[in-house]
Protein backbone atom coordinates (compact mmCIF):
# COMPACT_ATOMS: atom_id res chain seq x y z
CA UNK A 1 0.00 0.00 0.00
CA UNK A 2 2.76 2.37 0.95
CA UNK A 3 4.52 1.61 -2.34
CA UNK A 4 1.29 2.28 -4.21
CA UNK A 5 1.04 5.76 -2.77
CA UNK A 6 4.64 6.56 -3.59
CA UNK A 7 4.20 5.25 -7.12
CA UNK A 8 1.11 7.39 -7.53
CA UNK A 9 2.99 10.48 -6.37
CA UNK A 10 5.79 9.66 -8.81
CA UNK A 11 3.34 9.24 -11.68
CA UNK A 12 1.70 12.58 -10.98
CA UNK A 13 5.14 14.17 -10.98
CA UNK A 14 6.06 12.58 -14.28
CA UNK A 15 2.88 13.81 -15.93
CA UNK A 16 3.88 17.34 -15.00
CA UNK A 17 7.25 17.03 -16.73
CA UNK A 18 5.95 16.12 -20.17
CA UNK A 19 6.98 19.49 -21.76
CA UNK A 20 5.21 18.73 -24.99
CA UNK A 21 6.44 20.66 -27.97
CA UNK A 22 9.53 22.25 -26.44
CA UNK A 23 12.25 21.98 -29.07
CA UNK A 24 15.12 24.03 -27.73
CA UNK A 25 17.51 21.71 -25.87
CA UNK A 26 18.65 24.34 -23.36
CA UNK A 27 15.08 25.28 -22.54
CA UNK A 28 14.16 21.64 -22.15
CA UNK A 29 17.12 21.04 -19.83
CA UNK A 30 16.27 23.95 -17.56
CA UNK A 31 12.59 22.99 -17.50
CA UNK A 32 13.58 19.47 -16.53
CA UNK A 33 15.72 20.88 -13.74
CA UNK A 34 12.78 22.92 -12.43
CA UNK A 35 10.49 19.90 -12.70
CA UNK A 36 12.95 17.81 -10.70
CA UNK A 37 12.85 20.47 -7.98
CA UNK A 38 9.04 20.53 -8.09
CA UNK A 39 8.93 16.76 -7.86
CA UNK A 40 10.99 16.75 -4.67
CA UNK A 41 8.74 19.45 -3.25
CA UNK A 42 5.81 17.12 -3.97
CA UNK A 43 7.47 14.40 -1.92
CA UNK A 44 7.89 16.82 0.97
CA UNK A 45 4.34 18.16 0.55
CA UNK A 46 2.86 14.68 0.31
CA UNK A 47 4.62 13.75 3.53
CA UNK A 48 3.36 16.90 5.24
CA UNK A 49 -0.18 15.90 4.24
CA UNK A 50 0.29 12.35 5.51
CA UNK A 51 0.02 10.81 2.03
CA UNK A 52 3.57 9.53 2.29
CA UNK A 53 4.96 8.02 5.51
CA UNK A 54 7.43 10.28 7.26
CA UNK A 55 11.01 9.16 6.95
CA UNK A 56 13.68 11.72 7.72
CA UNK A 57 16.08 10.07 5.26
CA UNK A 58 13.62 10.49 2.38
CA UNK A 59 13.13 14.16 3.25
CA UNK A 60 16.88 14.70 3.48
CA UNK A 61 17.32 13.06 0.08
CA UNK A 62 14.67 15.38 -1.38
CA UNK A 63 16.33 18.44 0.17
CA UNK A 64 19.73 17.38 -1.15
CA UNK A 65 18.36 16.96 -4.66
CA UNK A 66 16.73 20.39 -4.48
CA UNK A 67 20.02 21.90 -3.32
CA UNK A 68 21.93 20.17 -6.12
CA UNK A 69 19.42 21.29 -8.72
CA UNK A 70 19.52 24.83 -7.36
CA UNK A 71 23.27 24.81 -7.78
CA UNK A 72 22.81 23.92 -11.44
CA UNK A 73 20.36 26.77 -12.14
CA UNK A 74 22.98 29.39 -13.15
CA UNK A 75 24.59 26.95 -15.59
CA UNK A 76 21.28 25.74 -16.96
CA UNK A 77 20.20 29.33 -17.60
CA UNK A 78 23.57 30.63 -18.77
CA UNK A 79 22.60 30.52 -22.45
CA UNK A 80 19.96 33.04 -23.46
CA UNK A 81 17.89 30.39 -25.17
CA UNK A 82 14.22 30.80 -25.90
CA UNK A 83 11.29 28.70 -26.97
CA UNK A 84 7.68 29.67 -27.58
CA UNK A 85 6.76 27.52 -24.58
CA UNK A 86 9.34 29.04 -22.27
CA UNK A 87 8.23 31.11 -19.33
CA UNK A 88 11.67 32.61 -18.80
CA UNK A 89 11.74 36.41 -18.86
CA UNK A 90 14.56 38.31 -20.65
CA UNK A 91 15.46 40.05 -17.35
CA UNK A 92 17.25 36.82 -16.36
CA UNK A 93 20.07 37.77 -18.70
CA UNK A 94 20.11 41.51 -18.10
CA UNK A 95 20.19 40.89 -14.36
CA UNK A 96 22.02 37.59 -14.21
CA UNK A 97 23.87 38.36 -10.99
CA UNK A 98 20.60 38.84 -9.10
CA UNK A 99 19.15 35.75 -10.77
CA UNK A 100 22.16 33.77 -9.58
CA UNK A 101 21.73 35.12 -6.05
CA UNK A 102 18.12 33.96 -6.04
CA UNK A 103 19.24 30.48 -7.10
CA UNK A 104 21.83 30.68 -4.31
CA UNK A 105 19.08 31.44 -1.79
CA UNK A 106 17.23 28.25 -2.71
CA UNK A 107 20.48 26.30 -2.52
CA UNK A 108 21.34 27.73 0.90
CA UNK A 109 17.90 27.21 2.42
CA UNK A 110 17.43 23.66 1.14
CA UNK A 111 20.93 22.46 2.03
CA UNK A 112 20.66 24.17 5.42
CA UNK A 113 17.55 22.11 6.19
CA UNK A 114 19.26 18.76 5.55
CA UNK A 115 19.38 16.91 8.88
CA UNK A 116 17.08 19.44 10.56
CA UNK A 117 13.75 17.76 9.81
CA UNK A 118 12.90 15.49 12.70
CA UNK A 119 9.14 15.15 12.49
CA UNK A 120 6.16 15.83 10.23
CA UNK A 121 5.60 19.06 12.12
CA UNK A 122 8.90 20.42 10.80
CA UNK A 123 7.82 20.03 7.19
CA UNK A 124 5.40 22.93 6.72
CA UNK A 125 7.72 25.60 8.14
CA UNK A 126 10.51 24.17 5.97
CA UNK A 127 8.29 24.28 2.89
CA UNK A 128 7.37 27.87 3.62
CA UNK A 129 11.03 28.84 3.78
CA UNK A 130 11.84 27.00 0.56
CA UNK A 131 8.71 28.25 -1.19
CA UNK A 132 9.66 31.84 -0.45
CA UNK A 133 12.86 31.41 -2.45
CA UNK A 134 10.96 29.85 -5.39
CA UNK A 135 8.52 32.74 -5.44
CA UNK A 136 11.22 35.39 -5.08
CA UNK A 137 12.77 34.19 -8.32
CA UNK A 138 9.58 33.37 -10.22
CA UNK A 139 8.10 36.80 -9.38
CA UNK A 140 10.91 38.57 -11.23
CA UNK A 141 12.01 36.07 -13.83
CA UNK A 142 9.17 33.80 -14.80
CA UNK A 143 6.16 34.84 -16.86
CA UNK A 144 2.73 33.91 -15.47
CA UNK A 145 3.91 33.90 -11.85
C1 LIG B 1 16.73 31.48 -9.55
C2 LIG B 1 15.40 31.44 -10.07
C3 LIG B 1 14.46 30.34 -9.77
C4 LIG B 1 14.28 29.66 -8.58
C5 LIG B 1 15.01 29.86 -7.25
C6 LIG B 1 13.22 28.72 -8.80
N7 LIG B 1 12.77 28.81 -10.09
FE8 LIG B 1 11.36 27.64 -10.96
N9 LIG B 1 11.61 28.60 -12.72
C10 LIG B 1 12.44 29.66 -12.94
C11 LIG B 1 12.32 30.11 -14.31
C12 LIG B 1 13.06 31.25 -14.95
C13 LIG B 1 11.38 29.26 -14.93
C14 LIG B 1 10.90 29.29 -16.40
C15 LIG B 1 11.82 28.41 -17.24
C16 LIG B 1 11.40 28.34 -18.69
O17 LIG B 1 10.19 28.16 -18.95
O18 LIG B 1 12.26 28.46 -19.59
C19 LIG B 1 10.95 28.32 -13.89
C20 LIG B 1 10.04 27.31 -14.09
C21 LIG B 1 9.57 26.46 -13.11
C22 LIG B 1 8.61 25.41 -13.34
C23 LIG B 1 7.97 25.06 -14.67
C24 LIG B 1 8.89 24.12 -15.41
C25 LIG B 1 8.29 23.66 -16.71
O26 LIG B 1 8.08 22.47 -16.86
O27 LIG B 1 8.02 24.50 -17.58
C28 LIG B 1 8.37 24.82 -12.13
C29 LIG B 1 7.45 23.65 -11.86
C30 LIG B 1 9.21 25.47 -11.17
N31 LIG B 1 9.93 26.47 -11.79
C32 LIG B 1 9.24 25.15 -9.83
C33 LIG B 1 10.11 25.74 -8.90
C34 LIG B 1 10.11 25.42 -7.49
C35 LIG B 1 9.16 24.45 -6.80
C36 LIG B 1 11.10 26.18 -6.93
C37 LIG B 1 11.55 26.23 -5.50
C38 LIG B 1 11.69 25.01 -4.77
C39 LIG B 1 11.69 26.97 -8.00
N40 LIG B 1 11.06 26.69 -9.17
C41 LIG B 1 12.74 27.85 -7.82
C42 LIG B 1 13.30 30.23 -12.02
C43 LIG B 1 13.48 29.79 -10.70
Please tell me the predicted confidence (pLDDT) of residue 12: 43
Distance CA 99, CA 92 (A): 6
Please tell me the predicted confidence (pLDDT) of residue 144: 75
> Total structural domains in the chain?
1
The most distant pair of C-alpha atoms in the chain lies apart, rounded to whole Å, by: 50
Please tell me the predicted confidence (pLDDT) of residue 19: 79
Q: Supply the range of the domain harboring residue 72.
A: 2-141
Going from the Cα of 34 to the center of ligand 1, the distance in angstroms, rounded, reads 5
Partnered with residue 62 across adjacent β-strands are none
Please report the DSSP string for 17-69 in residue order.
T--TT---HHHHHHHHHHHHHHHHHHHHHHHHTTSS---HHHHHHHHHHHHHH
Question: At 132, which CATH number?
Answer: 1.20.120.10
Per-residue pLDDT tens digits for 86-139: 999 999 999 999 999 999 999 999 999 999 999 999 999 999 999 999 999 999
Distance CA 138, CA 145 (A): 6
Please tell me the predicted confidence (pLDDT) of residue 18: 64
Please tell me the predicted confidence (pLDDT) of residue 10: 44
Going from the Cα of 138 to the center of ligand 1, the distance in angstroms, rounded, reads 6
Please tell me the predicted confidence (pLDDT) of residue 7: 46
- For the Cβ of 113 lying below 6 angstroms from any atom of ligand 1, the answer is no
Query: pTM of the entire structure?
Result: 0.90
Please tell me the predicted confidence (pLDDT) of residue 60: 98
The closest-lying atom of ligand 1 relative to the alpha carbon of residue 106 is 5
Per-residue pLDDT tens digits for 40-83: 999 999 999 999 999 999 999 999 999 999 999 999 999 999 99
Contacts 24+ apart (CB under 8 A), 6-14: 6/52, 9/42, 9/43, 9/46, 9/51, 9/52, 10/39, 12/42, 13/38, 13/39, 13/42
- For the Cβ of 49 lying below 6 angstroms from any atom of ligand 1, the answer is no
Distance CA 80, CA 43 (A): 31
Mutate to test the pocket of ligand 1, among 15, 142, 143, 145 (most ligand atoms within 8 A of CB): 142
- For the Cβ of 74 lying below 6 angstroms from any atom of ligand 1, the answer is no
The closest-lying atom of ligand 1 relative to the alpha carbon of residue 32 is 26
Amino acid sequence: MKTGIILLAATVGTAAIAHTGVEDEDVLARMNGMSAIAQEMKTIGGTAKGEIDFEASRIDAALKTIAQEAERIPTLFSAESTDPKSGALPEIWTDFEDFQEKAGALQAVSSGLVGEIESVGDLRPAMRRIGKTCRACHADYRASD
